[in-house]
Amino acid sequence: MYQNSQNVSKAKSRRSVGEGGQGRSRRPAYTREEVARAALDLLDRVGLDGLTMRTLAQELGVGTMTLYGYFRDKEELLDAVVDAAAAEHNITPPSGSWQDQLRYLVGELRSALARHPAILELRLRRPLLSPGILRGTEIGYSALMQAGFSRAETARAFRILFLYTFGFVAFSAESVTDEVRHQVQAAALLLPEAEYPTLVASAKETAEVMGGDAQFEFGLDIILQGLDARRAGRGRRPTRRSRGE
Amino acid sequence: MYQNSQNVSKAKSRRSVGEGGQGRSRRPAYTREEVARAALDLLDRVGLDGLTMRTLAQELGVGTMTLYGYFRDKEELLDAVVDAAAAEHNITPPSGSWQDQLRYLVGELRSALARHPAILELRLRRPLLSPGILRGTEIGYSALMQAGFSRAETARAFRILFLYTFGFVAFSAESVTDEVRHQVQAAALLLPEAEYPTLVASAKETAEVMGGDAQFEFGLDIILQGLDARRAGRGRRPTRRSRGE
DNA sequence: ACCTGAACACCGTTCAAGT
DNA sequence: ACCTGAACACCGTTCAAGT
């Protein structure tokens, strides 16, 4: 379902090694993708620290060193795991206004990241570029360009939405429970009021804002509103907001 | 310079153990803060993977197990390292419009994160609440509230800016070199044009947008513009943007 | 061709002991 | 009171060998 043509053919060519006639040579027990999916599954269950070459091998019923036949490194395995997570991500081209389309895309990205929390940390270090991931980018780009944004603005705008979503999930994942919220509120209330008057007064609001759908939607609205304002103002006054006044 | 009163007094009370008269009992070679700062320094030099209890101990000229007298865990040490990084962060209350003040704050946060890149990854897992970190929040809150935002809006607005900045630094740190940009552009150009027409056409723009001051400022402007629009529209029409149309 | 145990150079941390 | 080496239960990975 992802990178179809290339991967399938690669797997096939691996499988068809025995066509020589002797048919005695062993063929790999798994494909790269199968190993990656097993690793993703294990990752979901035991977290990033629990994903070990040893435990993964055990899970698959092979010797540890067998894994090094599929991947040069643990690093390379982890890249494949990120790819496997992206492969699950099946987005259908949305309809509606450009804002609606982007809302949908960003929502999909958010839920995809939430489905495999450990993936996020993995992606921090790699600028991922596999086709599966870029499918969403393509759709977002075309929505923005149809709305009248230039190519440069489109790239910038999509990047903002992408970064916001990533930042949100990274810091507002389901790890922000009610308990964490209470801790935050308590910590804010303990601050010296002389130095932190506004924060002490807003302790409750600060805690509420740590996560949740409402906060996510609010930020999304703000960004889309800002983009819309930028779009509307085009040509008239090319935004000299960055200057002094 | 950070959490002044408490920490200093704690360090003093540690030092003054020998006041009993005998003066023979050994006192700790370092304070907690000194160990944390040494760890931060080591972190900057060798990265997160290189920061080991063993190497840190060696750096300080003590046995490995001595560190466990200061911190129960490596986890607890890392928390202290994040705190030590926050302690360096000295922000002076800014002036100007609320947008200017927030621009300044966010810029400070960005450069603070850039100064110790490994800190970012550390902060992903901990909702940090030390006073040093919250100083910036207090200033941001008061700027937003003076601009007329409600407490709830203020908390939401500041959170957006915080998340955007974090996301930006996480994915657009100095690790995005020209080489990475070239890779991105090349990867985009290699996509099948039938499926990715917009992305292929915007390969150059996509690469440019991966990092850099211009992109950061653009996103910041968009968010501030969106916030301003929200502020201006208050009361009139309480934003039913989230609905269908 | 494909698989794998033993071994190496590391980790964080417990334990029992040293002054 | 403070410090610490030895030891334990782990890592990722190299190497040389097994079928």
Q: What is the pLDDT of residues B40-59, one digit of tens each?
A: 999 999 999 999 999 999 99
What pLDDT shows up at residue A130? 66
Q: Has residue B86 got a pLDDT over 80?
A: yes
Distance of CA B184 to the CA centre of its chain: 26
Distance from CA of A22 to the nearest CA of B (A): 39
Q: Is residue B186 within 8 angstroms of chain A, CB to CB?
A: no
Tokens representing residue B87 in the block: 């302690």
Rounded CA-CA distance B154/B144 in Å is: 6
Determine the average pLDDT of the residues in A179-196: 89
Those residues whose C-beta lies under 8 Å from the C-beta of residue B47, and which sit 6 or more positions away, are B118
Cα end-to-end span (Å), chain A: 52
Tokens representing residue A203 in the block: 């302790």
Rounded CA-CA distance B161/B153 in Å is: 12
Q: Is residue A208 within 8 angstroms of chain B, CB to CB?
A: yes
DSSP helix/strand/coil, A88: coil
**DSSP, residue by residue, B177-217:** -HHHHHHHHHHHHTS-TTT-HHHHHTHHHHHHTTSSHHHHH
Those residues whose C-beta lies under 8 Å from the C-beta of residue B206, and which sit 6 or more positions away, are A137, A155, B184, B185, B188, B199
Burial A212-222 (b: 16+ CB within 10 A, else e): eeebbebbbbb
Rounded CA-CA distance B89/B39 in Å is: 17
Cβ A145 vs Cβ B205: under 8 Å: no
Q: What is the pLDDT of residues A86-129, one digit of tens each?
A: 888 878 888 999 999 999 999 998 988 889 989 988 887 766 66
Q: Which candidate in B48, B165, B185, B198 is best for mutational testing of the A interface (most A CBs within 10 A)?
A: B198
Contact B171 A124 (CB under 8 A): yes
Rounded CA-CA distance A200/A187 in Å is: 9
Determine the average pLDDT of the residues in A39-65: 96
Q: Has residue A245 got a pLDDT over 70?
A: no
Q: What is the pLDDT of residues B197-234, one digit of tens each?
A: 999 999 999 999 988 899 999 999 999 999 999 887 76
Choice among A4-18, A48-62, B103-117 with the minimum mean pLDDT: A4-18
Greatest CA separation for chain A: 85
**Which letter does DSSP use for residue A91 in this model?**
P
Q: What is the pLDDT of residues B156-173, one digit of tens each?
A: 999 999 999 988 988 876
Contact B163 A167 (CB under 8 A): yes
Rounded CA-CA distance A241/B160 in Å is: 19
**DSSP, residue by residue, B103-140:** HHHHHHHHHHHHHSHHHHHHHTT-----HHHHHHHHHH
Q: What Å distances lie between residue A154 and A142, A196, A225, A238, B135, CA to CA?
A: 9, 40, 15, 16, 35
Rounded CA-CA distance B241/B45 in Å is: 48
Q: Which amino acid is at B217?
A: E
Average pLDDT, chain B: 82
**Which letter does DSSP use for residue B3 in this model?**
S
**Which letter does DSSP use for residue A241 in this model?**
T
Tell me which protein residue sits closest to nucleotide C6, measuring alpha carbon to C1': A65
Q: Which amino acid is at B29?
A: A
Cβ B129 vs Cβ A187: under 8 Å: yes
Q: Is residue B173 within 8 angstroms of chain A, CB to CB?
A: no
Rounded CA-CA distance A58/A62 in Å is: 6
Strand C bases, protein C-beta under 7 A: 1-6, 10-16
- The dihedrals phi and psi of A181, each to the nearest 5 degrees, come to -60, -45
